[in-house]
Amino acid sequence: MQIDKSKFPIIYGHDPRKGEMFQVVNEEGEIVNPDFMPDLTDEQLFEIYTWLIRMRISDEKANNLQRQGRMGTYPSIYGQEACQIGAVWPQEKSDWLVPTFRENGMMWMKGVPLEQTYLYWIGNEKGSEFAEDLNMLPVAIPVGSHTIHAAGIGWAERIKGGNNVAVCSFSDGATSEGDFHAAMNFAGVFKTKCVFFCQNNQYAISTHRNIQTASDTIAEKAFGYGLPGVMIDGNDVFAVIATMTEALKLAREFNTTTLIEAVTYRLGAHTTSDNPKIYREDSEVEEWAKKEPLIRLDKLLRAKGILDDEKAAKVEEDARQEVSIAAKKALEAENPKITDMFDYLLSETYPELEEQKQQLIEETNE
């Protein structure tokens, strides 16, 4: 079926090879592209704001828990909340989310309770035990490896005539991995139902995007595989929502995968084990901080009369209480039994494995 590209004006109407970046709301909270502003009620706009605050406070809590020695290494999403919200907002519940390790906000919006995400970063395997009706893969720590899984899921959905789309999120560093290119090539050849969503946060740990690739943009890599690619302002939640809406429709109706490059910035460290002051200047962070998602959203909602100081304070108070409860549940959760590694590793056991399990029980009194 021939694609009517005029029906997808964001994806096909903004060429990253010409340096075109799609934006709806600018850094001052002004709607600069009204024709593409998602049709959202005041209640939905306020809900998006609430999600942003919840994510920011939950992120702050996780960093504090790590510093207190009560959580393991943690990857911050500070500054990338618009990507997290916008990528999930238009999805159907049955769509697949294939996350890397910096999708804590996406997973929460998709239906993973916050305390479960905290459990994961605490080191409790229960953190990866998702509800059966939730189409989501576990967190992928190896950079870029999950892109091929997403391509496979998108291919399976096409073959079985399904309507679900696999949304795969990753950062700029993943685009230097072979798995990413294999996944893109596969998606182009086999017409998969996927969206590849790159949160270009400018750094792969300490490697700046400028020395990550020789191409002017990440989005333009899509064209080499016969796929559409588009570059958007990743700090503009409405640009992300509008673009993801088109990409999901394109995948659902035409089995066409889109590569979205959401240009954002990692305001925090790569993880709590990282010291970004070694490889980037404070002045650079300060400039990007002026473009972060909350500032423009706050200005927009206040200009519309949807938000004021009292409402903002109430949202923050409620979020802090919610996050505290989630952290308490995670910290007080029972640790998995050591024998779980035998009981849940394979669908069928065998004598040697049972012998090892029994030996461990005797040694540990489990």
Catalytic residue among 78, 266, 296, 320: 266
Catalytic residue among 203, 279, 296, 320: 279
Catalytic (active site) residue 270: yes
What phi and psi, each to the nearest 5 degrees, are found at residue 300?
A: -65, -45
The amino acid at residue 47 is: E
Residue of 265, 289, 140, 142 lying closest to 208 (CA atoms): 265
Catalytic (active site) residue 14: no
Separation CA 60–CA 21 (nearest Å): 30
By the 10 Å C-beta count (0-12 exposed, 13-18 middle, 19+ buried), 238 is classed as buried
What phi and psi, each to the nearest 5 degrees, are found at residue 121?
A: -75, -15
pLDDT in tens, the chain (366 residues): 799 999 999 999 999 999 999 999 999 999 999 999 999 999 999 999 999 999 999 999 999 999 999 999 999 999 999 999 999 999 999 999 999 999 999 999 999 999 999 999 999 988 998 999 999 999 999 999 999 999 999 999 999 999 999 999 999 999 999 999 999 999 999 999 999 999 999 999 999 999 999 999 999 999 999 999 999 999 999 999 999 999 999 999 999 999 999 999 999 999 999 999 999 999 999 999 999 999 999 999 999 999 999 999 999 999 999 999 999 999 999 988 888 888 877 888 999 999 999 999 999 876
Catalytic residue among 270, 280, 302, 344: 270
Separation CA 309–CA 307 (nearest Å): 7
Separation CA 52–CA 237 (nearest Å): 10
Question: Where do the domains of the chain lie, and which CATH numbers do they carry?
Answer: 5-335 (3.40.50.970), 336-366 (no CATH)
By the 10 Å C-beta count (0-12 exposed, 13-18 middle, 19+ buried), 361 is classed as middle
Catalytic (active site) residue 181: no
